[in-house]
């Protein structure tokens, strides 16, 4: 099976700090893959390198067979890579709908209208709240809006950075239901999470990053049956 995304030998540094030390990660079409690991492991850097916000010193990013390592982020977005950054970044003083319009500003107005209808069909709650200012949303709704913004360009591959971070447990459930829905819809996902148990529930494979290296990779099923993995990442 040819991978949809293939990151090969990525090496990234911020000045003297080496964040990635030769990372290989792949995602097949329709596959949902998790990247887990503690704070500072390099997870966000990996996503930023794939979307083009950070340039690697070495290595390459190949998407649908094309080397995109030298392309700027907007070209990668146009090719079908979506990105949901960490921290539920939405414009607080814009309405829900205005947030979606801004995310799709480069689209033809008619297409944009259809895409907004499409994300409302995925997230009916956002339709109900379409005229509300984003700062009045609950944490879960804000995360939904952030994900919806990532879907406006109808990406083939969606990168998500810790979508459950800082949310109450009941809201975390809701966010993972949303992610499961995207998997059912056929999106290819690369999901960065610290909530390892939930991440495994919605993904077929998992990578563990530690100090800029992939130190473990397995199918989610294998990982769940691996006492060493369970001990280290699922609290035994």
Ligand X SMILES: Nc1ncnc2c1ncn2[C@@H]1O[C@H](COP(=O)(O)OP(=O)(O)O)[C@@H](O)[C@H]1O
Q: Which of 205, 150, 180 is nearest to 33 (CA)?
A: 205
Region from 11-19, 58-66, 98-106, 121-129 binding ligand X, contact rule CB under 6 A: 11-19
C-beta closer to ligand X: residue 2 or 16:
16
The residue written with tokens 């907007």 in the block is 74
Axis crossing angle, helix 139-151 with helix 169-184, rounded to the nearest 10: 20
CB of 143 to ligand X, least distance (A): 17
Q: Rule CB under 6 A: is residue 139 a binding residue for ligand X?
A: no
Q: Rule CB under 6 A: is residue 188 a binding residue for ligand X?
A: no
Q: Contact letters (x/-) for ligand X, 24-63, by CB under 6 A?
A: -------------x-xxxxxxx------------------
Q: Contact letters (x/-) for Mg ion, 23-52, by CB under 5 A?
A: --------------------xx--------
C-beta closer to ligand X: residue 19 or 182:
19
Burial class of residue 35, CB neighbours in 10 A (0-12, 13-18, 19+): buried
Task: Give me the phi and psi of 169, to 5 degrees please.
Answer: -50, -40
C-beta closer to Mg ion: residue 35 or 119:
35
Longest CA–CA span in the chain (Å) reads 53
Q: How far is the C-alpha of 30 from the C-alpha of 15, rounded, in Å?
A: 36
- Interaction partner, residue 85 (Mg ion, ligand X, none; CB < 5-8 Å by kind): none
Strand-strand pairing, 213-219 and 205-210 = antiparallel
C-beta closer to ligand X: residue 40 or 59:
40
């Amino acid at each position: 099976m040819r991978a949809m995304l293939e990151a090969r030998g990525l090496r990234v540094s911020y000045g003297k700090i080496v964040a990635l030390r030769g990372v290989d990660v792949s995602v097949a079409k329709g596959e949902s893959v998790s990247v887990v690991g503690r704070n500072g492991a390099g997870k966000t850097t990996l996503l930023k390198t794939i979307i083009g916000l950070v340039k690697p010193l070495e290595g390459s990013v190949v998407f649908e067979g094309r080397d995109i390592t030298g392309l700027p982020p907007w070209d990668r977005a146009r090719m079908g890579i979506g990105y949901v950054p960490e921290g539920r970044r939405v414009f607080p003083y814009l309405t829900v709908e205005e947030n979606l319009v801004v995310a799709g500003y480069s689209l033809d107005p008619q297409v944009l209208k259809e895409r907004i209808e499409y994300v409302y069909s995925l997230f009916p709650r956002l339709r109900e709240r379409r005229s509300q200012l984003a700062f009045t949303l609950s944490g879960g709704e804000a995360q939904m809006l952030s994900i919806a913004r990532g879907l406006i360009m109808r990406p083939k591959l969606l990168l998500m950075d810790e979508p459950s971070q800082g949310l109450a447990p009941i809201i975390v459930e809701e966010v993972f239901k949303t992610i499961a829905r995207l998997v059912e819809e056929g999106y290819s996902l690369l999901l960065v999470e610290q909530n390892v148990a939930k991440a495994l529930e919605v993904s077929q494979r998992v990578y563990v990053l530690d100090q800029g290296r992939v130190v473990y990779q397995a199918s989610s099923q294998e990982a769940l049956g691996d006492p060493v993995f369970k001990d280290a990442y699922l609290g035994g």
